[in-house]
Structure 1
Amino acid sequence: MKNKMFIRTRFNYEKLPGADSQTASPLFGTPTFKSLKHRAPWVGRLQRPRLSFARILTLVVASLLIASMIGTSVYRRHRWNEDRNRPDERKLYHWEHYPRLTGFWNGVRTLVPHRDYVSEQEFIRKSTSSNPEDNIKPKWPTMSKEHKEPTVDIAPFNPYPDWNSAAYLNKHERVETCYLNEETKTELPDIYAYQGIPQNQTEPFFGSYEELGINDKVCFERYGRLGPYGYSYSREEGGLGMSEKSEAGGADKIWSWEKKVDYRDVDWGTAQKKCHEKNKIRFQKNATAAENDPTAKEKVKRHAYILRTWTGYKYSDYQILTIRAMINELALKSGGEYDVYFLLHVKDDSLPIWSSEEVYRKTIEDNLPKEFWNMAVLWSEQQMRMYYPEPFPNNVYNHAKAPVHSVYRSAHFAMQWFAQAHPDYDFYWNWEMDLRLSGHYWEFNNRIGEWAKRQPRKGIWERASRYYIPELHGSWHNFTEMVEEETYHSDEKPVWGPPKFENSGMLDTLPEVEPKTSYVQDNYEWGVGEDADLITFNPIFDPAKTNWVFRDDVSGYDLELPEPPRRCAIITVSRLSKRLLDAMHRETYLMKHHMFPEMWPSTVAFHHGLKAVYAPHAVYFDHNWPLGAIDGTFNHPPKPTDSVFGWGEHNQLGNSFYYNAGFSSELWRRWLGSRENNQGGPEAEENGTGRLCIRPTLFHPVKYEKGAE
């Protein structure tokens, strides 16, 4: 076995990337000690020893150490909060020297049609440019202090196809209308968007709405987005009554279209099931039609949308609004294309959930709001120990010092098992509880899936390893050509089919994943029209080139041979195909192969020649990075220790999507009306530009939510 040198990081928050996102940014607040039980779920399951004097002494010393850790944690959190307000008293990261961006905070009173919109970055550039061609009159929000209403109209937002059009019905079966309550025909709510954007709102640095096909000409504020799910009307009417102290100019217009739903008696699981039953012909191939019959209707592929949760998780009213939106927009209004599940981790292995229907049901009722009871599937680590029995030999390095079956090291076990127990879906979305989306769920998911389907396989792994910066890279076509050029001039061969490497036994790959032509001969044709097996929301990188802390948590391979090639995407959030999950399951069960959760899906896809993409969704930054600096930092670090997936993760603190991103929760809570870092809140909105209105954005992590108070 080759010698290894393990380099330790001095940043605590970089030691546990992912970890089901139970970490927080030290720049924007550290987690309480209570949250550590989620980050280290193996704690607390050791057998109680008999208390000899030596053990009592050990317990006393351990107690003192724990008390010291708590005190240190409180002190550090206090110091970081102080540092946030007094950054001159600590050493700043390089990116904190860049000017802060403030266009995020322009509210609904500054809305303009998209044709008149000028981003904050463009306004700054043209206002300070010495180039005569840039010497145009810059546009800055204008607003009358007496004018309290939004300056453009709000309207229902409908991203679905016209289900009744001839074009749709020529290819697909008819979509039957679904209801919240089939007996009373309670109609499904719509959501609402303003038909414009706040002037000089900040542009995302990473990703492109246009490239993904997501509508970037509208924005969502909290009343139009969450109001129909109960945010803005009273509990006596069946809502949640959360908007009493919020700035609300123009918000009542949605009720000229919308009826208020009484959610007190809604059973989302039953509604979802009945919706699928009404539309099941859409998802079944016509058994009587000839295989090549051109008149046969096209099958619509189905998705399981899986919320990974656990016993003891607390559901706030804001979380309930988010989950209602998911079910309504993904499952019901789509005519049953999705089923939403709660994959509920039962932490207490002693509960007899597998031998008692009563205990199984009570566990659900004790750990989920009533409206979601009929959507839960339970699992436990003990179950996974039986399903994927030991041993998993030849571990290279278990940095977490945790058992292989702990959820921390094997969150994917439950996903693999779920796909075997529920095999009727084409895709499985692995979704975390601290994700939030300001846009429409079906639009976001559908557009990303369709975009991934259009991607050719040539250069796909190389493109997936980089952040797409439209302002620097230009069009996606230009980006594709740039990546090919960089690959050509590098020392590495491009990925083309399953990689060949020394191993002690691998499962056979599928014939269809072998390239039919050489890399050079292919004209970006192979793979176009093929659904992606894996869609991630951060780049898919080679961990062996970085100091990412869990890069060597690899088991089941011959230690006398070099470690197998690997790929990784930080945060386990992803869409996985049934084909990929089957391969992951077989590799685990038959071959005893195992890796850390953020490496395993992408590595199996890599080894088996499956199609994997990183979806370039919009990611915002709170500082105005120079384009060359952000590209050099995130895409071309000068040495491995500088990688933003490892010791350089502090570079992610000021953005809207990463495991330790601090800006994500600040921007989300400001959008909800909260006062954050002595800014924003009801009074500031009322006396300023009104409540925030932002384009579709995926936020992570959001550890808690707070609105106007």
Structure 2
Amino acid sequence: MPRFHLSPLNIGEGPRRFLYDKLPSHSGESQSPLPQTTQFFKSWKQRNPWSNRIQRPRMSFARVVTLVIAAFLLFAMLGTGIYKRHIRLSHRGKGEERKLYHWEHYDKLHGFFNGIRDLVAYRDWVPEQNVIDMSSSPNPEDNIKPKKPAPLNDKKEPPMDPIVFNPYPYASEEYLKHHDKVETCYLDEDNKIETPDIYAYPGIPQNMTAPFFGSYEELGLREDVCFERFGRFGPYGYSYSREEGGLGMSAKSEAAGSEKIWSTEKKVDWRHMDWGKAQKRCYEKNKVRFHKNETETKDSENAKKKVPRHAYILRTWTGYKYSDYQLLTIRAMINELSLKSGGEYDVHFLLHVKDDSIPIWSSEEIYQKTIRDNLPEEFWGMATLWSEQQMKMYYPEPFPNNVYNHAKAPVHSVYRSAHFAMQWFAQVHNEYDFYWNWEMDLRFSGHYYEFHNSIGEWAKKQPRKGMWERATRYYIPSLHGSWHNFTEMIEEETFNSDEKPVWGPPKFEHSGMLDPPKEVEPPQSYLQDNYDWGVGEEADLITFNPIFDPAKTNWVFRDDVSGYDLDLPEPPRRCAIITVSRLSRRLLDIMHRETYIMKHHMFPEMWPPTVAFHHGLKAVYAPHPVYFQNNWPLEAIDGTFNHPHKPTDSVFGWGEHNQLGNSFYYNAAFSAQWWRRWLGSRENDEGGTEHELNGSGRLCIRPTLFHPVKYEKGAE
């Protein structure tokens, strides 16, 4: 969702400025003196016949020479300016560098692009940031840092074999002690075609770059493996022919060692797959895991723990083009989240019908035709349609007292109210406990179930004390140390600040609010709590970027607030950039009621965090690993991202250019480049098949969330 138009594709052009509103023009009968003056000269011309004659003033020779010289100098100056501008533009077109951002002066990192021939065991891995070039480092302290170059591997084969990556706990004795058995799900109705596995390498390329933000260990993700494209996407059709039911996309790729996955894996013919039916069969086989029956209700002591269900919602729209790479990604989502989990997740397409004139709600035939025209056939049974016209009826206007509509768009436009469709979906599909709001330009290199399940379990363990304050900060393990140290640091910062910590629903002046749930009132005071309250409680909101106070920044949509009394101060707000998140049914239900009962509304990235904030719900920012293309000094990255000197410096405002060089933000330019390099593409005259063949092989990267990826290509 664009804001400042700092497009990753236009990074070389520099940042564009805001488009300020023009002053309103006069309408109706103008009070300006200009029409009166014009009418005066018109009537004067009619009265004075001499007015139409050309008057030639008498001029002395000296005066004429002066005018000629002045005119010559004026034209010379204009010509020089035009010429210099032409030269400047032509040089820029020939590669003249623009003025660099401050972070672009830091050295570029290259360990992202180390390949599978450089694999080492995790215990032997040394991050690129820790490798010191002694020839250029006069600092004696650098001598104590580990220095291990990437191993020299003259062989084309990787030094280790890939392994099946299985993050599911279902076979363990501990799981079966407390939960019902998971019944195996299959791809076909006859229960003959098994769901495929994916493969990882049990190591990391030596000197692979370490992430600056987030932690694999803290979230409970395996940090000792990496994924390359054959093991990750091969089982979904990447590496075998269309005649065999695959997609045949790997013909020009470097492929050393890739054939080893087929020694244990069977190729699946995906040509006639119906994922919608497969998901429904899987749920029916396992529904005892999610709902208590009468026997279990009576015998509560011996009852098994029931597992929450998740709706995994892909936000798409009519006209969206699904590439073969997109098919691989979606197949991976459904297989790993839904079928292999025994139905814990259902993947849905929430498809925005952009043409409001299509009567999708009055004709089943038109409804199904719209799906067939806008989704690949294997996903037809997974779509739910919606339109802005429908939202106008579901949440009718007015939404009064808007503070400032910076987008200059109607309140029901998807740009300003993407959450309307999510709220409506949760009302229609209230059988789920959680709803993941997922965008089509997200990519993930690891295993979907491991990532989502680990984040949910991590959020469940988080205490409420300091919750909102921690969520405002990026976690930098190399600087902050352990999560425990980070938590104590935030508490100390809060204590030394002028602001009171958030503890329960905030008190603020308003003219009408829904009452928060009774269970969110703190059981004891902030000082009495020993980080106990909230531990074991499911999070109502999980975001993937910090949850900040927009009033403290110059984020452009901070005042897109409607329905509150304009005679009172604006209500306190919270925001998380990118709408990607996990929302509880409780949160979505309150959002829904705040919208249709109270007529409250805010910009989409501000609305869920603010409702959670106002109603005392549990909200956390998950510190997933985020990589940076440049080697920022730790103090500089902490100061820039966590402690800006003034609002205009915020990385959630005019300082968003600081996000361009990382792997996850709405305008992160490096993200898509790195993802395409992993697929085998040549980017910016670097990488590609020849480079991989002559270098360390194809890329192998740790589980990483990429955004945005607007297009994909591989080896050519």
CA shift for structure 1 position 166: 2.9
Aligned partner of 1:512 in structure 2 is 519
**Corresponding position: 1:123 with 2:107:** no
Relative distance call for 1:455 and 1:124 in structure 2 (3 A) is same
Q: Which of 11, 24, 32 is the equivalent residue of 1:27?
A: 11
TM-score (norm 2): 0.88
Distance in 1 separating the partners of 2:657 and 2:368: 43
Other-structure match for 1:53: none
Q: Higher Cα Rg: structure 1 or 2? A: 2
- Structure 1 residue aligned with 2:585: 578
CA deviation vs aligned residue, 1:569-612 (integer Å, no higher than 9, x gap): 00000000000000000000100000000000000000000000
Would you say the 8 A contact 1:119–1:202 is kept in 2? yes
**Superimposed CA distance per residue, residues 360-394 of structure 1 (whole angstroms, 9 cap, x where no aligned partner):** 00000000000000000000000000000000000
Among 136, 140, 151, which residue is 1:142 paired with?
151
d(CA) in 1 for partners of 2:209, 2:393: 51
SS at match of 2:605: coil
- CA deviations 1:152-178 (Å, max 9, x no partner) are 2210000000x2333222211111000
Give distance in 1, aligned partners of 2:479 and 2:210. 13
Q: Does the CA-based 8 Å contact 2:118-2:153 persist in structure 1? A: no
Q: Which amino acid aligns with 2:534?
A: G
- The alpha-carbon deviation at position 286 of structure 1 amounts to 3.0
Q: Deviations over 1:201-260 (max 9, x none)?
A: 000000000000000100000000000000000000000000000000000000001000
Q: Tell me which residue corresponds to 1:154.
A: 162
Q: For 1:172-571, list aligned pairs within 5 A.
A: 172-290=179-297, 293-571=300-578
Alignment of 1:35-46 (within 5 A): none
Distance 1:84 1:652 in 2: 25
Give the secondary structure class of the aligned counterpart of 1:444.
helix
The Cα RMSD (Å) is 2.0
- 8 Å Cα contact 1:126-1:136 kept in structure 2: no
| Shift, 1:292, TM fit | 7.2
TM superposition score normalised by structure 1: 0.88
Q: Give ranges in structure 2 of 5+ residues lacking alignment.
A: 16-87
In the TM superposition, residue 516 of structure 1 has moved relative to its aligned partner by 0.9
Task: Give the letter for the 2:153 counterpart.
Answer: S
Q: What's the secondary structure of 1:482's corresponding residue?
A: helix
Structure 1 Cα separation of the partners of residues 257 and 270 of structure 2: 24
Residue 483 of structure 1 aligns to a residue whose secondary structure is helix
Q: 1:223 to 1:598 in 2, by over 3 A?
A: same
For residues 270 and 352 of structure 2, the distance between their equivalents in structure 1, rounded to whole angstroms, comes to 26
Contact kept? 2:404, 2:561, Cα under 8 Å = yes
In the TM superposition, what whole-angstrom CA distance separates every residue of 1:601-640 from its partner, at most 9, and x where no partner exists? 0000000000000000000000000000000000000000
**Deviation by residue 1:342-372 (Cα, 9 ceiling, x = unmatched):** 0000011111110100000000000000000
The answer to whether 1:700 aligns with 2:678 is no
Q: In 1, distance between residues paired with 2:469 and 2:92?
A: 39
- Give 1:15's aligned residue: 4
- Offset of residue 135 of structure 1: 3.3
Quick one: distance in 1 between partners of 2:233 and 2:89? 33
Tell me the number of residue pairs that the alignment of Structure 1 and Structure 2 aligns: 643
CA distance in 1, matches of 2:323, 2:691: 25
Distance in 1, Cα, partners of 2:308 & 2:655 = 40
Q: Which moved more, 1:427-436 or 1:125-134?
A: 125-134
Give the residue type in structure 2 aligned to 1:141: A
Once residues 221 and 307 of structure 2 are traced to their aligned partners in structure 1, the CA distance between those partners, rounded to angstroms, is: 21
Partners of 1:289 and 1:107 lie apart in 2 by 52
2:611 equivalent among 596, 604, 607: 604
The one-letter code matched in structure 1 to 2:329 is: T
3-state secondary structure, aligned to 2:10: coil
CA distance in 2: counterparts of 1:526 and 1:196, whole angstroms:
39
Q: Which amino acid aligns with 2:338?
A: A
Q: Percent identity?
A: 75
Query: Are the counterparts in 2 of residues 308 and 343 from structure 1 also a CA contact under 8 Å?
Result: yes
Distance 1:324 1:527 in 2: 35
Q: For 2:583, what is the secondary structure of its paired residue?
A: strand
Check whether the contact 1:605–1:612 (CA below 8 A) recurs between aligned residues: yes
Structure 1: distance between partners of 2:231 and 2:627: 22
SS state at 1:449 partner: helix
C-alpha contact 1:207 1:469 (8 A) present in aligned 2: yes
Partners of 2:497 and 2:167 lie apart in 1 by 42
Find the aligned partners of 1:327 and 1:401 in 2 and give their Cα distance.
38
User: Counterpart of 1:115 in 2: which secondary structure?
Assistant: helix
Query: Do the aligned partners of 2:399 and 2:562 also contact (CA within 8 Å) in 1?
Result: yes
Structure 1 unaligned regions, length at least 5:
1-11, 18-22, 32-78
Q: 3-state SS of the aligned residue for 1:144?
A: coil
Q: Is the 8 A contact 1:193 1:220 kept in 2?
A: yes
Letter matched to residue 533 of structure 2:
W
Alignment match, 1:97: 105
